[in-house]
Structure 1
Amino acid sequence: MLPEDIPTVRVTGRYLTLDGRPLAGRVVWRAPSLLTFPAADVILGGPTTVQLDATGAFSVELPATDAPDMNPTGWSYQVAEQLAGVANRPPYHVLLPAESPEVDIDDLAPTDPTTPTYVAVRGDSAYEVAVEAGFEGTVEQWLTSLVGPRGATGDTGQTGAPGLDAYEVAVADGYSGTRTQWLTSLVGPRGERGEQGEQGVAGAPGVVQSVNGISEADVVLDAADVGAVPITAPGAPGGVAQLDDGGKVRAEQLPAGSGGGAVASVNGQTGDVVLDAAAVGAATADHTHTAAQVGALAASARAAANGVASLDAAARVPISQMPTAVGRNEWTPQSLGFAAWSCDPYTVANPVPKYLKPQRLFFVGFNITEPTTVNRIVLFSRGYGGVTTNRYRGGIYRENGTKVVESAAAALTMAGQEAGSMPAMQTNHIGAVPLSIASTVLAPGRYWAAWSLVTGGTADFAFFHVQNESPIATANFWMPGTPFARAWYLEGQANAALPATVSQTAADARADHDIPIMALANV
C-alpha cells in the first residue's frame, strides 16, 4: 500500500470478446524510471502487472503523474495490454492527473488504429479560454453573455397538405383490413372486474312504476319476462333435458345411436366379457419397465462416463466431474508437466537466488480444486549442491496442520541437469529439483508443501524466490474469517522426521523471508 500523502488514481477496466465472453490476460503499467517522493521517504519503481479476473475486469491504484514533490516530473505511464487470443497493440502512454482520482481505461486507451499512442490531457474549458482572453465574471455570467438578442419573427409558412388519418397511416404501414376491422382491432380485451363500491344511501320509498318494462296496474310476469325456462319445457320437444336421481340425462332423452342403453360389445367381445391386461393393451401387474422404455436415463448414468452430471447439495456440478482445469492457450502447471504450483514463476519480477538456511522448515501454500495424485515436491532452485552429504526433507500438510505425507531424508543432484536443459541452466545449476514422496491423492482443499535442508552448509544450496520486503510475506493476504498463510517457516527443526502437526499461529512461526517457488508433480 502506498503512503497516504502520495496522491493516487484508481484505474479500472474490463475486456470482453466480440460475443461478450471475458478475455484473459493482464495489463502492465510502467513508469519511465524510479520515482522519488522525499516527503514520504520512499522510492517507487518497477512495472505493475494487473491480472484480469474471471469477468475480464481489473482494478489498480497508481501514483498520480502530477504528484507534488515527485522527482522526476513531466512523465507518463506506458501501458501494455497482453490479452490471450488478441493481437497485442503497441504500448501507449497515458497521464493520470490527481484531479481525476478514478478513471476507466476505455476513456484513456486509443481506438484509432492509425494512432499508436494517446495521452489523456485535460484541455481548458471554453469558459477558461474566455477568462484567459480577458473575460471578467462568473461561469453563469459568461453563459448569459452567449445569448444574443431575439431575432425578427419570420414569415408564416404555407399551409401543408392534409395529413393521413390513423387508419390510412396503418394501411401505409402494411395493414390490409377494412376500416371497420381496423377499428375493431383497437379494442383491447376486457379488463378485470373492479372491486364493488360502497352501498349508496337508501332512497325514499315510492310506488312501483314498472316491472321488467311492463307498466300496468296488475303486472303478471311469465317465464320469458324474467329470462327463465317454462315449467313445461323439461322433457318436452324443443325444451330441456331432464336429469335422473344421479344427475344424469335420462336414457330415453338421448339421441338414437349415441350409446344409450345396454352395452353391445367391449373391445370386440360380447357376452360375459372379462378383460385382462393384454385385451386393453396394458402391462401385467408384475411387469417391470426399463428406463429406456419410459424415455428416461438409468440411475447408473449419474456421474458415469458418457452419462449425465450429478448436482451437489448446493445444486452445482461437483468439481470432480468438471474437465481437467487446463486453461485455453495459456500456461498452466499441467502445460509444463506439474500437477499444481504455488505461483507462475513467469510472473515473478527479477527472482534471484537465496541460500537455504539449514534446519529452517519452509511452508508454501497450494489450492487443490480437484482430486490430484502427486509423488514429487519440486523446488525452483539454483543448486550449488549435489553434495552427497547434504540431506533434504519434504512433506505435505493439510490446512488444519496435520501431516499428509513425508519424504525420507535424501541427497539431491544439482538443478538443470536433465536432458534438454539449456546450456546456461546446466552450467549455473538452474531448474526444477524434485523430492520423492509416496504417491498420494490430495482431495480438494488448501495444503502446505514443506521443504527443509536438514544437514549441510549455509552456502550449499540456493532457491529462486518471490521477493519479500515486509516483516510479513506479501502472500499472506486474505479476507477476514478465511486465514491461510501461503508463505511462512519454522526455525530450528531437528534432523529427524518432520513434525506431525504444525500451526501458522504458533509462537515460533515466522513470515519475514523471501518466498520459495514450489510445485507438485506426478511422474
Structure 2
Amino acid sequence: MPLPEGVPTFTLVGEFAPLSPGGGERQGTLAFTPVPAVLVSTATDAILLGTENATLGASGEFSIELVAEADEDFVWRVDETITGQPPRSYTIEPGTAGSTVALTSVAVTDVLPDDYVVVAGPRGPAGADGAPGTDGLDGAPGADGQDGAPGADGAPGASAYEVAVDAGFVGTEQQWLDSLQTDAEAYTDAAVDGRLEKAANLADLTDAGAARSSLGLGDAATRSVGTGAGSVAAGDDGRFTDARTPTAHAATHASGGSDALAPASIGALPAAGGTISGNLAVEGVALGQDTPAAHGVAAWCYDPAAAVNSTQLSGGVLYLVRVDIAAAVTVSSIYWWVGNPGSSPTSGQCHVGLYSSAGALLASANVDALISSAALKTTTIASQGLSAGAFYWVGLLFNAAVTPELTRGSGWTGVAEAANVGLSAASLRFATNGSGRTVLPSSFDPSSNVGANIAGPWVAVGA
C-alpha cells in the first residue's frame, strides 16, 4: 500500500548473488518491520504500522521504499527468507529522506526485542565551531550617492605681474606693462615689409620662375594650348581620336615572325598536343564520334546507338541518370526511349524530371499517357539554365499494372559497379534512390544513391 503523501521516505536496494558460478539464482523475500512497531508521522498526522515486503527479482535484486529517519527514533527489523540459506534477522538504521541506500552500506545490528523502546538521552554539549566558510561573491555596486555641497572658493591666484616677478622680472608693475607695449610696437608695417600680400594673389612674387622651380613644377603652366611646337594639347585635341586602321601585321606574330606569339600566350594548345584543364564543348563531330551537339541536343548519358537492349523498370523506384554539361545552356526537353510499352498506368504516378547535382528537383512532367507505346519520347519541362562544368540527373519514376521497358546499355552482372567505377554515391552515373514512391521527391540525399543494375536508362536533354 502506498505511504500517505508527505511522509519522508528513502529507497533501500540490494542484490543476493550465488557464491559460485552455476549456483542458481537466489529467490525469496525480505520483510521490513519498524521497531517500535507503531510509527507516528507528525508531518501528516498518520499512524504507520505493519510490515513491508520485498521479493527478490530474477537476478536476486530488490528495491523497496521505506519510511526515512524522522523526529521519532526507530529502526527497521529485517527478516530474510532466502533459498539456499537459513533465515536471518537483524536491524538497520533508516536512511535520510530522498536518498537511495545500498543494504551492503548500512550498519547491521542484532535484532531487537518486540518490546524495544527508544529512550532519548540527555542532550550532549555543543560541538566546536566549524571552520569559516569561503567568502561569498561581491554584491552588485550600490547606487551613486548624492553630490556633496559646493566647496569654498580657493585663495586668489597671483597676477601676471607677480608671476613675472617670480620669474625674475625686476621693476614696477608699470615698468612691466611698458615692456609689453614695447614688444608689441615691434610688429609694425615696417616690420612686415617684404612679405606676400594675400590680396596680391602672388603677383608680388619677385621671381615667379624661381618659385615654380622651388616647388618642383615644370613649364607646362606657362605654355599656350595649340597644335604646334611649344604648345600643350587640349583634352579634345583631334590627334587623340585618330580612328585610322592599323597596318596589317599578323605575319609578325606567326611562328618565326619578329613578334611571334606562343600558343600559351593566347590560351591555345601547341601543335604537339597538351592538356585541357577545363570543360570542352564540341559542336559537331569530335575524334570521329558524333557529339550531342551534332544531334541538336545539349547532353546525353551516352551515344544512343549504344543503347542495345531494354529493361522493365521496377514500379515505385526513382531511377537517376547523370548528364554532364560542357557549356552553359538552357534546356526545356527531356528525351527518353520506351523499348517495350507498359500498360494501365496508375493515375498521376508516372513522371520524368530534372534534378541538380545537390538532389533538388528543378522541373518535372507527368508522362502517364506516354508509357503505352514504344518510341523515343520528348517531354517538355519548364526552361532551366544549366551551368558549364556541372552535372545533373534525369529522374524517372513509373507505377503501372505493367511498367514500361526502357532502352539501356549494358545489363551484365556487375554493371552497377563497373559503370560507376571510381565514383562516390553522390556522383553516380546510373543510380536508384528509394522505393515505394508515387511522385518525384522535391529533393533527395545524393549520398544515399545506390548503383543501378543497368547502364541506363538512356536519356538526353536539350532545348
- Which TM class, normalised by the smaller chain length? 0.3 to 0.5
The structure that is strand-richer by fraction is: 2
In the superposition, the TM-score normalised over structure 2's length comes to 0.39
In the superposition, the TM-score normalised over structure 1's length comes to 0.35
Structure whose CA Rg is larger: 2
